[in-house]
Amino acid sequence: MEKGFPTDYEIHLFHEGNLNEAYKLFGSHLVEQGGTVHTRFCIWAPHARKVRLAGSFNNWDAEGYDLMRINDEGIWFISVPFNASGALYKYEIETGDGRILLKADPYAFYAEVRPNTASIVHSIEGYEWQEKQWQRKKKTDSFSNPMAIYEMHFGSWKIKQDGSLYSYREMADEIIPYVKERGFTYIEILPLIEHPFDLSWGYQGTGYFAPTSRYGTPQDFMYFVDRCHQSGIGVILDWVPGHFCKDAHGLYMLDGEPVYEYRDQRDRENLVWGTANFDLGKTEVQSFLISNARFWIEHYHIDGFRVDAVANIIYWPGGDEKGENPFAISFLKKLNGAVKKYNPHFLMMAEDSTDWPNVTTQTEYGGLGFDYKWNMGWMNDVLKYMEASPELRSNLHHKLTFSLMYAFSEKFVLPFSHDEVVHGKRSLLDKMPGHYEEKFSQLRLLYGYMIAHPGKKLLFMGGEFGQFAEWKDKEQLDWNLFEYGMHQKMDAYTKELLFFYKRSKALYELDNDPSGFQWIDVNNNEQSVLSFIRKGTKEEDFLIIVCNFRNHSYSDYKVGVPENREYREVLNSDREVYGGSGHTNKKVLKSHTGFFHGNPFYISMNVPPYGISILRPVQKRREQKQNGENKMRSNVIGGRKGEQA
């Protein structure tokens, strides 16, 4: 038997749905045999009459390069007696009705740069990783630690002056210092699987095992991830296991009939996106997708997936007509179980807009097994509230508070993603009502409320400095805005906010525990003021948060507090250094005895217009020495030496 020939055990596992390293069987691989290097090719095409291999090595004439069908279920194999490294190739598939299709390899590790569509024989071995410290760090519990995710589209974050794209290696030098300086802990990248159409943003893929060649080679992408890890930044990929594009060279009707997609047209056709839905009940498709997840973890050291469009997966197309899809639900559980078995620290995040229960409950307890779920309800509610005219907000007060009715039912990420700032929806800054300065004030307030609200944090690129225009996917971010003072100050505020978040245990240690949150005053809709407490695991770790969603400042505003202590304002979004009007609390606030807001004590404070104020109980000198890391930074734009927030 030839070296590299599929074994009976591999074939059995693949058809059973449990070949979690299917990429080692299928695709193109260099194999040493008899002292020489051969290249083997393997594809699953169950309905094909014949399969041949065409490529640059035979001038695209597949005559004499017939693959052998090795089982009734349609696995085809050929080994050619030469090293085909770097060669272009496709499979010439003869369908049951006699048509000839030229298809890219579903398991290819590399592909031509679009608009060309051939697969490339390429070894992904040999990269030497330099990220040992990160591998130790990532084993910490993410749930009780801060998480601030910077979502980006690789092709439009920054573009060269001549209009060309930055490579994976070049982008490492550009974005990693930028993200690290601003305090983000993860970079989340819109899909990087090979895709033919730039404006699909990667969500309509053809090469699930190939990082897109737009930005370089597989080893170049490994370098990018490695550099992120060396800088203490994790990498999350947007991953699309629900549907794929219908381009002629891709997975769609691979051998002339449904292979990766549902056979029933009503289930197959995704009319919203013009794509085809994966048949998640088919065991071979399960092997394909689960091994794909394993592949990105093993070979690219990816730290997590944002799993796209889970709502489209768990329900049949057409919504309520057929209801839930039991095959897809079973697949998601199987996927998450397999991923966790291979790497318990890998993060699986569901982009799910439904009220499906127990998305982040472990599979053994009846859940889907995700680590996190995007809190789409919170995002939609809070943006609807912020976009409303201030005089109408009193009637929409519940939009701000309703999320706390379910905030601890799942483990949530609070997302301000690309979907909220594209296709005419306007940027986050432009969504804010009012004049120029008011827009910035409200955006600072919005970010402050997100940081103070239970849940991990996600912000799409450009939001950190107040991109005024919505995302333009053909152009880079408006970097020229850094020439303007308000955008500089917005960027400074975002930095300070994230560093404050990471230093404040009360804002993350009990993210998923209702004991970590307590309302002070949830009912002041007339003034549109919210106040609440965030708590850490230690009794002394708590913060008082006061948010004012109107353009009115208040002096001597009473706020109930739980302990008879002095309180110091440690963050205020209305500081002049951030572009605000300077309604702050410079002096220590002393509490008074008196029952207020359900608490035995109260303080009187200044409440900034369109602002958030965060107070911390003053620690005794011994406590300050032990917790010096909680002091505020002062090196923000416009700050005086030694000035504290």
Given the residues 308, 352, 496, 541, select the one marked as catalytic.
308
**Annotation marks residue 351 as catalytic:** yes
Could you tell me if 349 and 305 are in contact, meaning their C-beta atoms sit under 8 angstroms apart? yes
Predicted pLDDT at 642 = 33
Predicted pLDDT at 2 = 57
**Annotation marks residue 105 as catalytic:** no
Give residue 643's pLDDT band: very low, low, confident or very high (50, 70, 90).
Answer: very low
| Alpha helices for 231-323 (secondary structure H) | 265-268, 283-300, 310-314
The residue to which tokens 């305090």 are assigned: 183
Predicted pLDDT at 641 = 32
**In the predicted structure, residue 645 carries a pLDDT above the cut 60:** no
Cα pseudo-dihedral 281, 287, 289, 294, rounded to 10: 150
Strands (E), 60-152: 68-69, 75-80, 88-94, 100-103, 119-120, 148-152
**In the predicted structure, residue 461 carries a pLDDT above the cut 80:** yes
Average of per-residue pLDDT across 82-103: 97
pLDDT tens column, 565-580: 999 999 999 999 999 9
Report the predicted TM-score, pTM, of the whole model to 2 decimal places: 0.94
Average of per-residue pLDDT across 414-442: 97
Q: CA angle, 102 as apex, 101 and 106 as ends, to 5°?
A: 110
- φ, ψ dihedrals at 172, nearest 5°: -60, -40
Give the count of beta carbons closer than 10 Å to the beta carbon of residue 542. 21
Average of per-residue pLDDT across 427-442: 98
Secondary structure letter of residue 157 according to DSSP: S
d(CA 177, CA 187): 12
Strand-pairing partners, residue 239, are 307
pLDDT tens column, 201-242: 999 999 999 999 999 999 999 999 999 999 999 999 999 999
The residue to which tokens 């159409």 are assigned: 197
**In the predicted structure, residue 5 carries a pLDDT above the cut 80:** yes
d(CA 288, CA 461): 32
| Alpha helices for 315-401 (secondary structure H) | 326-342, 376-387, 397-401
Q: Is the dihedral of CA 434, 437, 443, 447 positive or negative?
A: negative
d(CA 315, CA 353): 12
**In the predicted structure, residue 484 carries a pLDDT above the cut 60:** yes
Given the residues 351, 470, 491, 509, select the one marked as catalytic.
351
